[in-house]
Amino acid sequence: MTPLTLDDAAALLVQLEPTDQEDIAKLREALADLALDVQVPLAAQPLVARAARLLGELADHRTDDREATLAAANVALDDAVTAVEAAERRAAARRDGGEARASSAAATTTAPIVVPEMPSPVAPAASSSTPAPAATVVDGSVDTVPDDSDLDLLRDFIIESVECVANSEAALLTLEASPDDAEAVNTVFRAFHTVKGTSAFLGLHRMAGFAHEAESLLSRVRDREIAYTSGCAELSLRSVDMLKAMLADIDRALAGDRRLVVPVGYSALIAALASYDPSHDASLAASPHSVATTSTAAESGDDTARRAAPAAATAGATTGTTGDSTVRVRTDRLDRLIDLIGELVIAESMIAGDPLVSGSAGGVHHDLARKVTHAGKITRELQELAMSMRMVPLRTMFSKLTRLVRDVAIKAGKQVEFVTDGEDTEIDRNMVDILGDPLVHMVRNAIDHGLEAPDQREAAGKARQGQVRLSAYHAGGNVVVELRDDGNGLDRDRIIRKAIEKGLIESDKGMSDSEIFALIFAPGFSTADTVTDLSGRGVGMDVVRRNIESIRGRIDIASAPGKGTTFTIRLPLTLAVTDGMLVRVGTERFIVPTVNIHMSFRPEPSMLSTVVGRGEVVMLRGEVMPMVRLHRLFGVADAVEHPTDGLLMIVGDGEQRRTVLLVDELLGQQQVVAKSLGEWLGTVRGISGGAILGDGRVGLILDVGDVVALGQSGASVPLPAGIALAA
Amino acid sequence: MKFLVVDDSATMRRIVVNALQRIGFNEFVEAGDGQEALGKYDESVKFVITDWNMPNMSGTEFTKALRERPDGRDVPVLMVTARSVREDILTAMEAGVNNYVVKPFTPQVLKEKIDALLPAAA
């Protein structure tokens, strides 16, 4: 080994010819080491590195103009020498000024000349820097969470990685549509890269090993070594799934026995990643990309709707996604907290409503009233905050659906552009799961039944690629989720034929379009000509409606022949609190969810009549609506018998089937914390739940959809005795 | 001594900060990408540790921009990287990175790297 100074190197380099392959390679190694030599002043480092890199291009034959590259290397090294001399002068000047300088021997710094196959300039840090020998791991084998791992760090890692993986999944789907999207490739690459780097630190070597293989595949795409073909897409998506599974496993292990299980297919996927050869899926690569994804940011159109949304939603919405620190909280604790705050709100309203505070004696206790008002204000703020804590953006659900669209489109042989909109819209976490299944089903339907095959579309003068658009926004205290396709629309006649065939209706006489469309929600109804494995098994839309109604939402359909179908789901912002109108019927009090109420009025005798076959009806401004006497339906005593003595309330479970309820009187608007009746009595027809009212007694929350259905059937469902007691 | 730790992964930042704390440093500024780091850098920062691959602005782009600032010419920049490919390292150094450390590293290795760069920073 011959020591080499920067000056020596410069002198050597000047003498080199572009063809001196061996000497160039040697000098390059020496310069690479010099670049990292701490004795070289910072100012010179980049120049030395540049010279080393240029020599590298020569050594590896990565340059066409060898002459120019060599000259550039010479310039860089000369500049480096100049920079070192300048640094020396500055240092000397400082020394003269009485300031000691630790080291200044840069220009005479030495570095060994080394053979080309020398390892990387600085030995890799930890012994574990090479990924674990992943391919030898047996699926299902067990490992444990590293003992000394910082648990908080691990949890942070999981949260961050899950987000990373979700982002990369979205990016992968973007790549389907535009395989050349460099930013998308980089996003996916970065996700694997980050997971790999971090998991290695945490001792999760198996995950690091896997991420390494996945990263390698993506880096080949990034470096344009291979194209992003369908085979590559498949592998990437499988890798994303694998990472998800592994992350979920760590999460589970942390909560439980700390044993990590290798997911099924781990070794096979590692092997597939490592041996991926794009030429083997040439046939697949030729097929057109069938799915495109676009996502538009929140459009200005729903700005007003957003403003109208209660603070609970907006408070959550401002949180954004940028590196906020988070604390993980078990959801049952969060639910309990929200429940308790709900109780607190009620307790507070009981105090505020106490005659001592609000009543005639209020004047005497003026100070107390003021304090109670203050406490009430804080309570409401607390409630809003608690609500916002359970709000999560729909983003995750949307990106899951994006993935689904891709898979379904391929299976169904359709070309689909999937557009999502408003994925930052927030929704009560507890509703997410319940909403998930219906959306999955509806999206499948939209692609499988809604959209026509490409040829058919072309024949109809449409683009071959159909569009399915999923949007979400806040409107009037609701979260609205809309699924729209530009397919063929619902076939009115076929629905009628089928409904008659299935005995759901006798004829379509007097039925509006929307009433006919609503038939597809009937149990056992299916319009698919052919039953595929994707949809059309005759179960589904009824379950969709039931799920949505179980979270006090409603679903409406609009459809135009040849233009497409739109499903609109309206959901309450949160399940924790119901906005309701408290009404009295005899000895009983009911809460009618405000969302279902259209108006209430005291009827004139002329408005009332009885129609054969439809029972009692109310006519208002030309509209004929069936009337349901709540006291008869629920068997309540001492109630107003004649409608003109009581009040009528127009309710609807959708825009269409409006029904009038007879109640004794309105007691006022109230927010209630809904509790499942199961806590008291199990399921009761027509009742969705109960709530503790301001006076400590129980009020029953009407399930308006069910009440309307019951009313039409003329049935009576007396309340169980226990409810009357409790109330 | 104040460190600027730049990484798009909050977990990685925490790992780096933890390691730094273990070897006796306790003043930190953090940034999630190069752009943010440029905003957070000032003369009070005596050492920069940056990730390479980040959205918006990568570690090399950040270092290059930093070196063009009068107050960022001399601060040591250590790059954290997952792979030690020599050509990549040289590219980074050309941009002004002074040294690098390969993930995963121990606090001890990090300390050696920092110590090595400190006397060079005048």
pLDDT tens digits for range A219-243: 888 888 888 887 888 888 889 988 9
pLDDT > 90? residue B47: yes
Q: Provide the residue ranges of all domains of chain A, joining segments of one domain with +.
A: 3-112, 131-288, 305-312+331-389, 392-572, 577-726
Distances (CA, A) of A57 to A9, A274, A557, A726: 17, 27, 64, 86
pLDDT > 90? residue A677: no
pLDDT > 60? residue A101: no
Q: Does B73 touch chain A (CB under 8 A)?
A: yes
pLDDT > 80? residue A312: no
The boundaries of the domain holding residue B8 are 2-117
Which of A598, A590, A584, A594 lies closest to A663 in space, CA to CA? A584
Which of A371-375, A550-554, A563-567, A664-668 is least confident?
A550-554
Residue A309: which pLDDT band, with cuts at 50, 70 and 90?
A: very low
Q: Does B53 touch chain A (CB under 8 A)?
A: yes
Contact B100 A38 (CB under 8 A): no
Predicted local distance difference test score (pLDDT) of residue B3:
95
What are A712-723's pLDDT values in tens digits? 777 778 876 655
Q: Does B115 touch chain A (CB under 8 A)?
A: no
In total, how many domains does chain B have? 1
Q: Does A174 touch chain B (CB under 8 A)?
A: no
What are A496-555's pLDDT values in tens digits? 888 888 777 888 877 788 888 888 887 767 654 443 434 444 446 777 887 887 787 888
CA dihedral for A707, A709, A713, A717, sign (positive or negative) = negative
pLDDT > 90? residue B66: yes
Which residues share a beta bridge with A610? A616
In a domain, B38, yes or no: yes
List CB contacts of A475: < 8 A, sequence separation 6 or more: A302, A305, A308, A309
Contact A46 B95 (CB under 8 A): yes
A-contacting residues in B 8-27 (Cβ below 8 Å): 8-12, 14-15, 18
Residue A288: which pLDDT band, with cuts at 50, 70 and 90?
A: very low
Predicted complex ipTM exceeds 0.85: no
Beta strands (DSSP E) in chain B are: 2-6, 27-31, 45-51, 77-81, 99-102
Q: Does B39 touch chain A (CB under 8 A)?
A: no
CATH number of B97's domain: 3.40.50.2300
Peptide bond before residue B104 is cis, with ω within 30 degrees of 0: yes
Which residue from B82, B86, B100 is facing A197, i.e. has the nearest CB?
B82
Residue A655: which pLDDT band, with cuts at 50, 70 and 90?
A: very low
Closest A-chain CA to B96: A46
pLDDT > 80? residue A417: yes
Contact A125 B95 (CB under 8 A): no
Predicted local distance difference test score (pLDDT) of residue A513:
82
Q: What is the mean pLDDT of residues A435-462?
A: 88
Mean model confidence pLDDT for chain A = 76
State how far residue B6 is from chain A, nearest Cα, in angstroms.
12
Q: What is the mean pLDDT of residues A191-200?
A: 85
State how far residue B45 is from chain A, nearest Cα, in angstroms.
17
What are A142-174's pLDDT values in tens digits? 666 666 557 778 888 888 888 888 888 888 888
3-state helix, strand, coil in chain B (%, to 5): 45, 20, 35
What are A250-285's pLDDT values in tens digits? 888 887 777 778 788 888 888 888 888 776 654 433
pLDDT > 50? residue B19: yes
Q: Does B50 touch chain A (CB under 8 A)?
A: no
Chain B residues touching residue A121 (CB < 8 angstroms): 84, 86, 89
B-contacting residues in A 312-341 (Cβ below 8 Å): 322-323, 325
Chain A residues touching residue B101 (CB < 8 angstroms): 125
Percent of chain A with pLDDT over 90: 5
Chain A residues touching residue B10 (CB < 8 angstroms): 156, 160, 323, 325
Question: In this predicted model, which residue has the larger pLDDT, A653 or A580?
Answer: A580
pLDDT > 90? residue A190: no
State how far residue B43 is from chain A, nearest Cα, in angstroms.
17
Closest A-chain CA to B54: A190
Which of A210-219, A348-357, A479-488, A662-671 is least confident?
A348-357
User: Highest mean pLDDT: which of A378-392, A423-437, A482-496, A644-658?
Assistant: A482-496
User: Does an H or E element contain A700, and which?
Assistant: strand A698-702
In a domain, B101, yes or no: yes
State how far residue A106 is from chain B, nearest Cα, in angstroms.
10
pLDDT > 90? residue A662: yes
Residues written for chain B: 122
Contact A121 B89 (CB under 8 A): yes
Q: Does A42 touch chain B (CB under 8 A)?
A: yes
Question: In this predicted model, which residue has the larger pLDDT, A107 or A370?
Answer: A370
State how far residue B64 is from chain A, nearest Cα, in angstroms.
10
State how far residue A534 is from chain B, nearest Cα, in angstroms.
38
Chain A residues touching residue B11 (CB < 8 angstroms): 153, 156-157, 160-161, 198
Q: Does B87 touch chain A (CB under 8 A)?
A: yes
Predicted local distance difference test score (pLDDT) of residue A303:
38
Residue A576: which pLDDT band, with cuts at 50, 70 and 90?
A: low
Question: In this predicted model, which residue has the larger pLDDT, A115 or B15?
Answer: B15
Predicted local distance difference test score (pLDDT) of residue A296:
46
Which residue from B82, B93, B98 is facing A193, i.e. has the nearest CB?
B82
User: Does an H or E element contain A405, and which?
Assistant: helix A395-412
Predicted local distance difference test score (pLDDT) of residue B39:
92
In a domain, B42, yes or no: yes
Which of A659, A652, A651, A642 lies closest to A583 in space, CA to CA? A651
List CB contacts of A307: < 8 A, sequence separation 6 or more: none
Question: In this predicted model, which residue has the larger pLDDT, A203 or A214?
Answer: A214
Question: In this predicted model, which residue has the larger pLDDT, A637 or A365?
Answer: A637
- The answer to whether A410 and A290 have CB atoms below 8 angstroms apart is yes
Map tokens 């009983």 to a residue. Answer: A588
Contact A56 B90 (CB under 8 A): yes
Q: Which fold has domain A577-726?
A: OB fold (Dihydrolipoamide Acetyltransferase, E2P) (2.40.50)
Predicted local distance difference test score (pLDDT) of residue B17:
92
Test mutation, B93, B101, B111, B118, chain A, max A CBs within 10 A:
B93
pLDDT > 90? residue A7: no
Q: Does A440 touch chain B (CB under 8 A)?
A: no
Map tokens 């942070």 to a residue. Answer: A156
Percent of chain A with pLDDT over 70: 77
Other residues' Cβ atoms within 10 Å of the Cβ of residue A662 = 25
pLDDT > 90? residue A307: no
- CATH number for domain A131-288, candidates 3.30.1490.190, 1.20.120.160, 3.40.50.300, 3.90.180.10: 1.20.120.160
Predicted local distance difference test score (pLDDT) of residue A568:
92
Phi and psi at B64, nearest 5°, equal -60, -45
Chain B residues touching residue A35 (CB < 8 angstroms): 90, 93
State how far residue B46 is from chain A, nearest Cα, in angstroms.
14
Around A393, how many Cα atoms within 13 Å sit in the side-chain half-sphere? 19
Mean model confidence pLDDT for chain B = 88
State how far residue B86 is from chain A, nearest Cα, in angstroms.
6
Contact A153 B15 (CB under 8 A): yes
Q: What is the mean pLDDT of residues B59-70?
A: 92
Question: In this predicted model, which residue has the larger pLDDT, A206 or A365?
Answer: A206
CATH superfamily, domain at A392-572: Histidine kinase-like ATPase, C-terminal domain (3.30.565.10)
In a domain, B40, yes or no: yes
Q: Does A69 touch chain B (CB under 8 A)?
A: no
CA distance A106 to A101: 12
Chain B residues touching residue A326 (CB < 8 angstroms): none
pLDDT > 50? residue A647: yes
Predicted local distance difference test score (pLDDT) of residue A102:
42
Question: In this predicted model, which residue has the larger pLDDT, A449 or A326?
Answer: A449
Closest A-chain CA to B81: A197
A227 conformational bin, left if phi > 0, alpha if psi -120 to 50, beta if neither: beta
User: Does an H or E element contain A246, and which?
Assistant: helix A230-255
Question: In this predicted model, which residue has the larger pLDDT, B122 or A16?
Answer: A16
Q: What is the mean pLDDT of residues A178-198?
A: 84
In a domain, B7, yes or no: yes
pTM across the whole model: 0.45
In a domain, B122, yes or no: no
Q: Does A153 touch chain B (CB under 8 A)?
A: yes
